[in-house]
Every structure is written in C-alpha cells, then in structure tokens.
Structure 1
Amino acid sequence: MTNQTLLRLLGIEKPIIQAPMAGVSTPALAAAVSNAGGLGSLGVGAMNAEGARKVIKATRALTPKPFNINVFCHSPATSDEARERQWLNWLAPHFEKYGATPPASLSEIYTSFVADPAMVEVFLEEKPAIVSFHFGLPPSEVIAELKKAGIKLLAAVTNPREAAQVAAAGVDAIVAQGIEAGGHRGVFDPDAFDDRLGTFALTRLLVKAFQLPVIASGGIMDGAGIAAVLALGAQAAQLGTAFVACPETSIDEGYRRAILSESARHTTFTAAISGRVARGMVNRFTELGSDAQSPKPPVYPTAYDAGKALHAAAKAKGEFGYGAQWAGQAAALARSLPAAELFAQLENELKDSVRELQQYGS
C-alpha cells in the first residue's frame, strides 16, 4: 500500500499533517498548511457546537482545500465533590501567591463528543472533509452518520488493541500516537495499563497488523523524521509541536518564549493541569503535580477548570509557568517560522532525506 492511498483518500498532495492542537491551532494555521498541499487541522474539543461552526467557516474562507476537525471522545466526567475540594485546597496557597482565590467549585468545562449531539449536527450540516477522534471513538451510529455524509474519519491510537477497535469501527485511517508526542496521551482508557510505545515501534506494529493507512505522530519535527516514518510504512506524518512556534498559532508569549528556549529540552508527563496525562515542558505546574504530597487531581476535564484559573491568576502577574505548555520530546527543534515557510522547509528536508537514503542504498 503506497502513501498515495491516504493522500487520495484525504484529498491532499503531501504526506504532512498538522496536528489539531486544541486551544493552539487557528483557522490561519490550518489554512496555511492545507494551502501548501498538506492537511491542516483544528481542534474543537474545547469548543461548543457553534464555536466549531464558526472556525469551520473561518477556515473555509481562507482555503478551498480539505482540512481536519478534531474532537475529544473521553468518557463524560463524574463529579466527585470531596476530591475536587481537596484539590482546590491544595492549590489555594498558589492562588494566594498571585492575589487570587480558587474557584468556589469546579465544573466539566468541555462536553465530550460522545455526549454532544449538537456538535454532530454541526458536522452533518457543515460537512468538513475530515473529522478525527482523540481519547477513543464515538458511538457506532455517529460514525455511520458521518460516513454517510461523506466525511472521512481518522482516530488516534496508542497501541494495537485500540487500533483493532478503530479498524472494526469503520474509521478510514489510524493515527499512531507514540509516547514522544506532546499534549494529551490519546489512550482510550486512562485507567488501563499504558504500553508507552514509541512512534517507530507503534507505527511498524500497526503497518504490519492492519490494512488501514497509518499516520505516524509523536516526536517528528523535521523532514528527516517524516522520511523515517514513511520508511517504516506510515503513509503520512502528523506534526504538532513543530508548528507550535508558528506566528499563526494562538499561544501566549510565555509559551512562545519557553518553546524557543532551553525549557524545550525538558518535557514530562503530568495529569495535574487537566486531570489527564499529557506531555508538556517542565514548568511550575508540572513540578506542583510531581510533589509527593499532592492529592490526586479531579478527573478530566474538571481539573482543567482549576488549572486554567490558576494560570490566569499567575499570568495576570506576569508568571506564565502555570500554563499548559504542551510539547513533544523533540521540542528543542521547533522553529519560529510562518507556517507556509515551515511547510516548504519540511518538504525540502524530506526530499533531501529521501535522496540520501537512496544514495546510501545504491
């Protein structure tokens, strides 16, 4: 199976996909990547249905090309007032440092796609070319409706067991998220054992086991990385952290400074910010979460309600270290270039890497 299979399926020219990056990606970024021949993406998991409609329309105004819309398929949160109160009490001294108090209570700030018929309706009306799923899959009837509307479907997985579920569900392609990836780990069940497979190992396992096209994701920052995963049988590479420093993203100045500094060399997993394991640069919040005295944070995305409030309080005083500064393991390779320029460099690096491999084999 050649990479042309996936490219034809998605209606794109180049095997380069920009990761959705909810809260970071913008219509301008997605459109720039799609206009360059790749696949731009927008994460709408943190939006309501009308917010998603708005960014779909805004992106369409900037590109006639296909782009991807990503949603979260986590299990809806169950409130645990005792656990939430304990967490807020734990955070209170940190709020106090910045002249603020914790929220009186916490709420589930995002609606999961599995429980959001309004979002499904927007997709059926707007018909984005591609919809992708993170944290699992929506109900089978939703998948059937989206496919009937002509929408191509992708789903992120972290192991072959999840990939088998995706294949059985009728999804069109698999996104193999390696342990190196920045942002939230896409495990279907956050309480299950995580094999923590790397991008190379996971990509090769899925290519050998499934007929569906595989998109490799995690730790890929340049053309050499893209060439490597294509050589392993992936039909495209998905890059997120590589695009974070582009001026088209919506990151704040603290995040931008961090990813272009020594901080980018140090990433870690934390559940303290959102309630679900995610990889980001080491900062004040990740250190807070690693404290041995720390209680267990509330479930995702309820914990994010507290995390965002603390970040806002600290940021108002000039401290950006409590933000969700998600980044993959190779974040130190990030480049601050307009997305179109970065895409062109990735293409040239990919061609150079393929040429070197061909020369090596001759």
Structure 2
Amino acid sequence: MSTQVDDRALLRSLGIQKPIIQAPMAGVSTPALAAAVSNAGGLGSLGVGAMNAEGARKVIRQTRELTGKPFNINLFCHRPATADAAVERAWVDWLAPVFQQYGATPPQKLAEIYTSFVVDKPMQAMLLEEKPAVVSFHFGLPPDAVIAELKHAGIRLLASATNLDEAAAAVEAGVDAIVAQGIEAGGHRGVFDPNARDEGLGTFALTRLLVQTFDLPVIAAGGIMDGAGIAAALALGAQAAQLGTAFVACPETSIDEGYRRTLLSDAARHTTFTSAISGRVARSMVNRFTTFGEQAQAPRTPDYPIAYDAGKALHAAAKAQGEFGYGAQWAGQAAPLARELPAGELMAQLERETRASIERLQSVWG
C-alpha cells in the first residue's frame, strides 16, 4: 500500500519547475518542441522509437543546442514482430485497390520498420553515451540489465502503464515514476500485451488507483488538454500531468497540413481506436484509413510495426494526390480543445489556467 509521497519529489528529481510533461509523440515531436517546453519550465520529450541509434543521437544533440534544461527520450519496448508472409500478402492485397485509386503500387514486401528497444543494442549503447536526463518506456519494459545500466548512468526512468499489473511490473523493475495512460489518450495504447484483455481504465480511475497502491510518483496522461485537467490530475494525487494532443497543433511539431487542419476542425470531435494503420491499437481521429479498417471483411492485420510499413506507404501515395485521410492522425478524446499556439505560449497559458482552477476549487470550499 502506498505511503505519502512528497508532492514535489518528482519535479525536483527531474529538475523541472512545473508539473507539465509534453508527451513524446514519435513522428510529431521535434527538438524545437521539446526545448520550448523545457525552457518554459516543464519537461519536453522526444519520441525516438521510430529512429535508429544515430538518428536518435542527432535529435538529442539538436535539442541540447536549444536548451540546457532536462528533457525526456521515449523508447518503444514492444515484443519484436513475428513475420508471416501469408498474413502480410493478404493485407497488401486488401489495401491494393486503395493504392490503385491514388495511382500507386503497394509494396511487394513489408518490413519490420522499427526495432524494439528491448533488442536494440546500438540504441541502448547510445543512451549510455549521451546520458539524457530522462528516459521513458512505452509498450512494456526493457530487460532488467538495461534498466540497471541506465540507472547506473544517472538517468531517471519513467514507464507507462494502463493497469495495476503493468504498474507493478514497472515498480518491480525499478523505474522512478509511472505514467498512468488512461483510455482517453491519443496515439498508441501502451498495453504491454496487445493480445491480453484491455481493462480500458480511464485517466481519473487509473491515476487514483496507482497513487493509492504504489509509493512511486504518478504522472496522469490521457484526455488532459488544459489547466483544469492538470489541476484535476494533481487533485487526484498525480505529481504531474502529461499532455500530448494539447501540443500537436503547436507550430514546432512536424505534422503535415492535413493533420493540422483536421485537428483544428469539427472532425476532432470524433476519435476511434484502430489497428489498421500500424498493426497496434491506437486512438486516431476518424479518417479514411480508420473507416476502411473497420470493414467486416478486413483480413488479419500484420504485427506491429510491419503493418505500419504498408500504412506509411499508403499515406504517402494518397498524400501525393492531396488526400491526407490515410495518415496516422493520432488524437485523444478531448482533441476539440486543441489550440494552435507556440509551445512557450501554450505552457504559459496552461500555468495560468491551472492556477485559476486551483483558486476556484479553494473558493468553492471556502
């Protein structure tokens, strides 16, 4: 059972001033975004799960040129994919008519385009050399020996969890804080085992359960878009809130015009879970790809990230013809609250809103 945790212990250990963490968002976050958040007193993040070791080293060094503050490097710890030629051929054949619609030929063979951190020795070695202040894990945990090496190097470790069992595994592994990813969150669901039953816990319920069960600091994530949400997370006992979708529309991100336009339109009111885009369940705004993937006759999806090889190729083909609806337009359930502000301005606004929300609660209770 949890004992009382110092409410600012996590912030002090991470060297940040404000209880705001920008979610890593692989393929969306940039050195400019991470640096802007860290320079504003929060913890900026870079998702490098889609990069090799040298690509990750490059963005770490680029970020260090923009900030002297701590920032987080996020890794994917999924089970490595199992190739299945028959499954992959059926998937490509099913997508072929859509490729043809945009004058393109589908890939003849799909590849495992990302290497899981659990087996990525060059990435592990690079982190020990570069020593970023914070490293976080998604989809699971690396081997105990890797965690021990990172901790020995003085790196603070975070791990996402979607239920109590995953959180217990992270605690046992020796991480410094748990990211409570609620069902409301945009992007990939962080479940350790994609074949297991997903309890679908919301951010509020999960955060409170973890705070009451474990001694480690908890970071609330999922559906938090403004200061009121941050204040609510803090009231539940979280030491910080992690925001992803809230930062996607910032000009510092790398999203394309179609993603930005969709996020800032009424289309943001509709999100859904899909595995068609990447091979793993993720929350996206409803678009052509998510709708196509919901067809009853859809064949089995190849393993993540093999399916993502086809998904990225289809998006590129459609985008070349001006259609952005086959992209990975990840967004959380509260996406309509997104604001197109520079990251530094958004951080200042979030701080004002959080303080105002806390003051309002204090006034309600006299």
Give TM class, smaller chain.
over 0.9
Which secondary structure does the structure 1 equivalent of 2:110 belong to? coil
Task: Count matched residues.
Answer: 362
Secondary structure of the residue aligned to 2:180 is strand
CA contact (8 A) 1:178 1:198 kept: yes
The residue number in structure 2 matching 1:121 is 125
1:78 maps to a residue whose letter is: T
CA offsets, 1:172-195, max 9 Å, x none? Answer: 000000000000000000000000
Is 1:187 equivalent to 2:191 in the alignment?
yes
| 1:52 alignment partner in structure 2 | 56
Contact 1:3 1:15 in 2 (8 A): no
Q: Distance between the aligned counterparts of 1:28 and 1:3, measured in 2?
A: 29
2:340 to 311, 336, 342: 336
Give the equivalent residue in structure 1 for 2:40: 36
Q: Provide the rounded CA distance (Å) in 2 between the counterparts of 1:165 and 1:217.
A: 18
For 1:280 and 1:332, the matched residues in 2 are separated by 13
1:3 CA drift (Å): 2.6
Q: Give the Cα separation in 2 of the matches to 1:296 and 1:236.
A: 38
Quote the residue 1:271 is aligned against: 275
Percent identity (aligned) = 77
Separation in 1 of the partners of 2:263 and 2:224? Answer: 15
Residue 138 of structure 1 is matched in structure 2 by 142
Amino acid at match of 1:111: T
Q: Which letter does structure 2 place at the counterpart of 1:334?
A: A
- Within a 5 Å distance, the mapping from 1:193-212 to structure 2 comes to 193-212=197-216
Amino acid at match of 2:257: E
> For 1:14-62, what per-residue CA distance to the aligned partner results, in whole angstroms no more than 9, with x for missing partners?
0000000000000000000000000000000000000000000000000
- 5+ residue gaps, structure 1, are none
Distance 1:3 1:79 in 2: 46
Name which of 302, 306, 324 aligns with 1:298: 302
Q: What one-letter code is carried by the residue in structure 1 that aligns with 2:353? A: E
**Which residue of structure 1 lines up, in the alignment, with residue 100 of structure 2?**
96
Mapped to 1, the partners of 2:15 and 2:136 lie a distance apart of 15
In structure 1, the partner of 2:25 is 21
Matches within 5 A, 1:64-83: 64-83=68-87
Q: Which of 295, 319, 322 matches 1:318? A: 322
Q: How far apart are the structure 2 equivalents of 1:51 and 1:178? A: 30
Aligned residue in 2 for 1:250: 254
Taking structure 2 as the reference length, the TM-score comes to 0.99
Q: Which residues of structure 2 form unaligned runs of 5+?
A: none
Give, in whole Å, the separation in 2 of the partners of 1:185 and 1:34.
25
Q: Deviations over 1:335-355 (max 9, x none)?
A: 000000000000000000000
Alignment of 1:140-179 (within 5 A): 140-179=144-183
Secondary structure at 2:109 match in 1: coil
The 3-state SS of whatever aligns with 1:3 is coil
Question: For residues 293-339 of structure 1, what are the alpha-carbon distances to aligned partners after superposition, in whole Å with 9 as ceiling and x for unaligned?
Answer: 11111010000000000000000000000000000000000000000
SS of the aligned residue for 1:345 comes to helix
Q: Report if the CA contact (8 A) 1:3-1:236 is conserved.
A: no
Q: Distance in 2 between matches of 1:339 and 1:80?
A: 42
Q: Secondary structure at the match of 1:344?
A: helix
Q: Render the CA deviation track for 1:233-265: whole Å, top value 9, x for unaligned.
A: 000000000000000000000000000001100
Spell out, residue by residue over 1:146-202, the C-alpha distance to the aligned partner (whole angstroms, 9 max, x if none).
000000000000000000000000000000000000000000000000000000000
Alignment check: 8 A CA contact 1:14 1:37 kept: yes
> TM-score, normalised to structure 1's length?
1.00
CA distance in 2, matches of 1:234, 1:95: 45
SS of alignment partner, residue 233 of structure 1: coil
The answer to whether the Cα contact below 8 Å between 1:102 and 1:310 also exists between their aligned partners in 2 is yes
C-alpha distance in 2, partners of 1:142/1:361?
48
> Is residue 84 of structure 2 the alignment partner of residue 84 of structure 1?
no
The offset of 1:361, in angstroms, is: 1.1
Tell me the residue number matched to 2:115. Answer: 111
- The answer on whether the counterparts of 1:160 and 1:206 sit within 8 Å (CA) in structure 2 is yes
- C-alpha offsets along residues 68-98 of structure 1, whole Å, 9 cap, x if unaligned? 0000000111100000000000000000000
Distance 1:298 1:318 in 2: 27
Counterpart AA for 1:361: W
Structure 1 residue runs of 4 or more that deviate by more than 4 Å after TM superposition: none
Query: For residues 155 and 88 of structure 1, what CA distance do their matches in structure 2 show?
Result: 34
Deviation at 1:9, TM superposition (A): 1.1
The answer as to whether partners of 1:31 and 1:63 remain within 8 angstroms in 2 is yes
